[in-house]
Structure 1
């Protein structure tokens, strides 16, 4: 894929709201060795998949879940679901699930997996920091500390860097 074709694909991805199209763009981009285009299509897919209202905690939580499940499914060549996180959300809700995972002594497996895949902004720790009105100071402090210990620089609640 030429640079102009990649630029066109990236522009199309920004506007696309069809999951099937985004999946196909990602497949085609990977086949053609355009990992940046494939990643952009994947990230856009994870943005549009949640049925919750964009900008809400619930949307961000489901975006994170879709990202991790989608990445693992792609890597493993079979559908992968978060078999403990989804049922916990069904029992106690998104906010309580995020809180419980952040307050654990050790980071969750999902935390490490997202960091390894350069998706720190999708960890539940980053999600909590983007929604400080939904969490106690204890949770926010623990989230910030965990990200800092992982080498993630917090420039502001919504901006993370390595």
Structure 2
């Protein structure tokens, strides 16, 4: 990550940097700033482990995709409700083990943000999830 992006401390600065980078013809820096903003949001939420932080980053990345499509800030309302009801890791497990591919997976793939997909998080932390979730995640990512 570019040091200028790594030094950004809040989401507003990341968004401003991304806009400026795009205007100056540096889309790679804009993408880095967008990803840094996602990381900051996850850190602020208060995750208690690396796997929780990555799961939250995935939700925030999905919100970025939704917001880009809608042209305004769009929360992942149903996902947040599930997280509040079940907890972060169990909610991710539930989303992935459904036999139907989530809209988040598809949307993140279309935007080139697959590293934020729940399936990618599960494969980075297989010990935190069931073998079923790990197998499904591997199959989905192999098919992409």
Both structures adopt the same fold (TM-score exceeding 0.5): yes
More helix by share: 2
Residues 10-159 of structure 1 mapped to structure 2, 5 A cutoff:
10-50=2-42, 51=44, 52-53=46-47, 56-150=50-144
TM-score normalised by the chain length of structure 1: 0.80
TM-score normalised by the chain length of structure 2: 0.90
More strand by share: 1
**In the comparison of the two structures, how many residue pairs are matched?**
142
Structure with larger RCO (C-alpha < 8 A, sep 6+): 2
CA radius of gyration, larger in: 1
Alignment CA distance shift 1:16-1:55 (3 Å) = farther
- When the two chains are superposed, the root-mean-square deviation of aligned CA atoms in Å is 1.8
DSSP-derived class of the 2:37 partner: helix
Following the alignment from structure 2 to structure 1, what is the Cα–Cα distance between the partners of residues 127 and 88? Answer: 14
Give CA-to-partner distance per residue, 1:49-92, whole Å, 9 cap, x none: 11235861211111111112123213422111112101000000
Unaligned runs of 5+ in 1: 1-8, 151-162
- Deviation, 1:136, is 1.6
